[in-house]
Structure 1
Amino acid sequence: MSPTDASAHAVSTPMTGVGTGICSDTSEDGVARGVGRVTDSEDTLDLRLPQELLALLDARGADAGRGGERRAQECRGDGTVLPASRTSTGNDLLDGVGGWGPIPTPAGVFQLVPVRVERDLPLVCRWMNDPAVTEFWELAGPQNVTAAHLRSQLSGDGRSVPCLGVLEGTPMSYWEIYRADLDPLAHHYPIRPHDTGIHLLIGAVTNRGRGLGSTLLRAVADLVLDQRAACTRIVAEPDLRNISSVTAFLRAGFRFSAEVDLPAKRAALVIRDRSLRDLL
């Protein structure tokens, strides 16, 4: 989706259902073509269901047995009602994205601010209707289309958090930080527990093509690694056709791992490893 470095597109487009808590079509054999070309032997670990996912499935089964009780919800001080984004063990699935705070970057002070639909919907909807963004996000249309996409995450179990990227006090990008190991994407590559995914689009045309995509991707990937001690890898799956997006990730210290066939696209699986953080 963005740019860098190379265009007006958005850096890391989501596949249908990825990062939203909505299950995508899993009729494929579960391992995407191209994974055999993974360049890091550690990427070929056996697929295992993380304990947190098993706990979530157990919890859902218990809810069904009680007649589908509504999930508990919590209110912030400003009155916004948010879903309880916790597993049965009481752990925040993404370690409190909203509290990660501002960080310095070469482009200025940057912060991820969780989306509030009533405040942010018009802005995000306008970005989604930009033709350069629509080509890859496929969320063009009236506000109810964007609202449904946002609410599917906000009303979920906390495995995906939609955020505005605020640079020097100005909202200029849209992000989704999500648990890749608990996401439909996990059907398509050898996961590790706590793998964390990133989707990004750069909003204003004036912010594209200036290298902001790679600058912010590197900063946010570092932020995730700093804030999520259990996470050893950041992953993303930009559309292979989106050359500017793939380029932005590679310039941000991600390495190309494989080509994967997802329900809505053929993607480049790119990974930023904690162990290689200071080398790439």
Structure 2
Amino acid sequence: MSARPASDGEAGPPPVPRLPEPWSVRVASGDADVELVHRWMIQPHVEKYWQQAWTPRQWRDEFDRQLAGAHSLPCLVAHDGVDIAYIEVYRVARDGLADYVPHEPHDLGVHIAIGDRDRTGRGLGRALLAALADGLLAAEPECDRVVAEPDRENTASVIAFRVAGFVQGREVALPDKTAVVMTYERRGPR
């Protein structure tokens, strides 16, 4: 999805999620992260839905673009100290998705890719999605909603989001896919 200018005037750049152990998260940058994300994005199970089998140089440019703006934040997530996922945290109000879903200025969205195929299908993604949703709400007290938009053809992802506590909404036709809108609402007081 394309970025929109930061016109909402209220929300800053997306925050780094606050994840409990055994999870950890860091902002993506540097040669090592570029190479790792590049390797993950050319894996068939990731490339099929992300369609970003870019060169390392393109990924470096992408990281630089995201880090210079207020739309999205590229991060790597580790489990027990081992990097397993690339995520992008974004402001829904500054994303093309804003045309399709109700949103508030502080609402956050997330894209996720588990890079190694042997780490999928074991419940790790579901656990990460739940931790990630709660971690984003903890990091952004003004946010009441975390949104995701997996491809409707990626049924494993849609199921993982549901099991993690996201509510499945309607399908929307985006420029690059037909997505299922998944929403995780804040439960209880801020």
Q: TM-score, normalised by structure 2?
A: 0.90
How far the C-alpha of 1:54 sits from its partner, in A, is: 3.9
Which residue does 2:38 correspond to in 1?
Answer: 125
Which residue does 2:7 correspond to in 1?
Answer: 53
Which string of whole-angstrom CA distances, capped at 9 and with x for unpartnered residues, describes residues 83-114 of structure 1?
xxxx7xxx64334x17x4x513xxxx111100
Contact persistence 1:110–1:165 (CA under 8 A): yes
CA distance in 2, matches of 1:54, 1:253: 28
Report the RMSD for the aligned CA atoms in angstroms: 2.1
Contact persistence 2:4–2:71 (CA under 8 A): no
2:170 equivalent to 1:253? no
The number of residue pairs the alignment matches comes to 189
The 5 A counterparts of 1:16-165 are 16-17=1-2, 21=3, 53-55=7-9, 92-95=12-15, 97=16, 100=18, 102-104=19-21, 109-156=22-69, 158-165=70-77
Greater shift in the superposed pair: 123-132 or 199-208? 199-208
Question: Which amino acid in structure 2 is aligned with residue 251 of structure 1?
Answer: V
For the pair shown, the structure with the greater C-alpha radius of gyration is 1
Which residue does 2:90 correspond to in 1?
Answer: 178
Contact persistence 1:214–1:248 (CA under 8 A): yes
Q: Which runs of 5+ in 2 are unaligned?
A: none
How far the C-alpha of 1:146 sits from its partner, in A, is: 2.4
How far the C-alpha of 1:53 sits from its partner, in A, is: 2.2
Using the aligned pairs only, state the percent identity: 35
Contact persistence 1:232–1:274 (CA under 8 A): yes
Contact persistence 1:22–1:152 (CA under 8 A): no
Which residue does 1:71 correspond to in 2?
Answer: none
How far the C-alpha of 1:276 sits from its partner, in A, is: 7.5
Which residue does 1:243 correspond to in 2?
Answer: 155
Which string of whole-angstrom CA distances, capped at 9 and with x for unpartnered residues, describes residues 34-87 of structure 1?
xxxxxxxxxxxxxxxxxx6243xxxxxxxxxxxxxxxxxxxxxxxxxxxxxxx7
Question: Which amino acid in structure 2 is aligned with residue 205 of structure 1?
Answer: R
Structure 1 stretches of 4+ moved >2 Å: 52-55, 91-95, 144-152
Q: TM-score, normalised by structure 1?
A: 0.63
Greater shift in the superposed pair: 137-146 or 203-212? 137-146
CA distance in 1, matches of 2:7, 2:187: 25
CA distance in 1, matches of 2:178, 2:30: 30
1:177–1:141: structure 2 CA closer, same or farther, 3 Å change rule? closer
How far the C-alpha of 1:185 sits from its partner, in A, is: 1.1
Which residue does 1:263 correspond to in 2?
Answer: 175
Question: Which amino acid in structure 2 is aligned with residue 245 of structure 1?
Answer: S
Contact persistence 2:169–2:183 (CA under 8 A): yes
Indicate the SS of the match to 1:94.
coil
With CA pairs under 8 Å and 6+ residues apart, which has the higher RCO, 1 or 2? Answer: 1
How far the C-alpha of 1:228 sits from its partner, in A, is: 1.1
